């Protein structure tokens, strides 16, 4: 295959642009900010779930509290009723004695219930603190998620701009290269890690980095300038400069 020296040199310039595009693609897929964003998104979801769980627990305990409040009220109203009856002095001494006994038990029951009520209130207070710190954490993470999303978007936009510029340059350059040579380049590129053409530098193919033996090297360098040479090892187009 024949191609002018300048066409072969253009192919190397095209390769540089295509390699830049590969690097930009790699950069877009491996943004450090994307990794941070993923971590923050997971942390935010976890804080949000914990917050919901704490809210649910609180509402269950509040239900428990209103139940124990009703229990206390019932005991208090029984105490009041018994005290009234006792104050009225109506009834047999035995009945009055029974009333006093019942009042004693009721007072004990009231103290027990009030203690339960207090415990529940302490639990609610602890939950309130937990909910407050969790919701603060959740909101702070939400802000970070928004911030890093914007940073990621901006970084991707910048890469897209750079890619578009490079694509414009590479298409303009490709239009200057003979279609036949370009087709071979594209074919190799598709099967050789995106590198279709490499420079011959210091006796080495810059595509596979293998040193070409002296005999082959002297044969290659003695070929006419417009001969398109392929690396024996990696089959890439070897451009002699």
69 versus 233: smaller Cβ distance to Zn ion: 233
Stretch that binds Zn ion, among 24-32, 75-83, 127-135, 225-233 (CB under 5 A): 225-233
Contacting residue, 208, 217, 230, 240, with Zn ion by CB under 5 A: 208
Q: Spell 52-74 as b/e; 16+ CB within 10 A means b.
A: eebeeebeebeebbeebeebbee
Closest alpha carbon to 56 in 142, 133, 130, 121: 130
Contacting residue, 34, 61, 79, 234, with Zn ion by CB under 5 A: 234
Spatial neighbors of 121 by CB under 8 A, at least 6 apart, are: 65
Euclidean distance between CA atoms 84 and 70, whole angstroms: 21
**Three-class SS of residue 240?**
strand
Residue 145 tokens, joined: 């998620």
Contacting residue, 54, 207, 212, 239, with Zn ion by CB under 5 A: 207
Contacting residue, 37, 197, 228, 231, with Zn ion by CB under 5 A: 231
Stretch that binds Zn ion, among 37-45, 91-99, 164-172, 223-231 (CB under 5 A): 223-231
Please say whether the beta carbons of 82 and 99 come within 8 A.
Answer: yes
Q: Rounded to an integer, what is the distance from CA 92 to the centroid of its chain?
A: 79
Stretch that binds Zn ion, among 79-87, 99-107, 166-174, 202-210 (CB under 5 A): 202-210
Q: Does 237 bind Zn ion (CB under 5 A)?
A: no
Q: Does 220 bind Zn ion (CB under 5 A)?
A: no
Q: Does 205 bind Zn ion (CB under 5 A)?
A: yes
Q: Which residues sit at the interface with Zn ion, rule CB under 5 A?
A: 205, 207-208, 231, 233-234
């Amino acid at each position: 295959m024949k191609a002018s020296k300048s066409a072969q040199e253009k192919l190397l310039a095209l390769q540089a642009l295509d390699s830049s595009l590969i690097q930009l693609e790699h950069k877009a897929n491996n943004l450090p900010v994307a990794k941070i964003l993923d971590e923050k998104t997971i942390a935010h979801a976890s804080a949000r779930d914990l917050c919901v769980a704490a809210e649910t627990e609180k509402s269950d305990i509040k239900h428990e509290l209103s139940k124990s409040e009703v229990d206390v009220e019932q005991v208090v109203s029984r105490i009041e009723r018994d005290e009234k009856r006792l104050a009225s002095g109506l009834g047999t001494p035995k009945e009055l004695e029974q009333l006093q006994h019942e009042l004693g038990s009721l007072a004990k029951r009231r103290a027990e219930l009030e203690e339960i009520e207090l415990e529940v209130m302490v639990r609610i207070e602890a939950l309130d603190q937990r909910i407050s710190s969790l919701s603060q954490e959740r909101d702070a993470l939400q802000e970070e998620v928004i911030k890093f999303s914007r940073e990621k978007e901006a970084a991707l936009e910048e890469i897209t701009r750079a890619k578009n510029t490079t694509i414009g340059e590479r298409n303009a350059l490709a239009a200057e290269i003979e279609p036949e040579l370009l087709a071979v380049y594209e074919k190799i590129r598709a099967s050789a890690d995106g590198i279709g053409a490499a420079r011959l530098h210091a006796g080495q193919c810059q595509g596979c980095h293998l040193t070409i033996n002296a005999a082959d090297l002297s044969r290659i360098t003695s070929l006419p300038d417009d001969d398109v040479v392929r690396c024996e090892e990696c089959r890439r187009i070897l451009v002699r400069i």
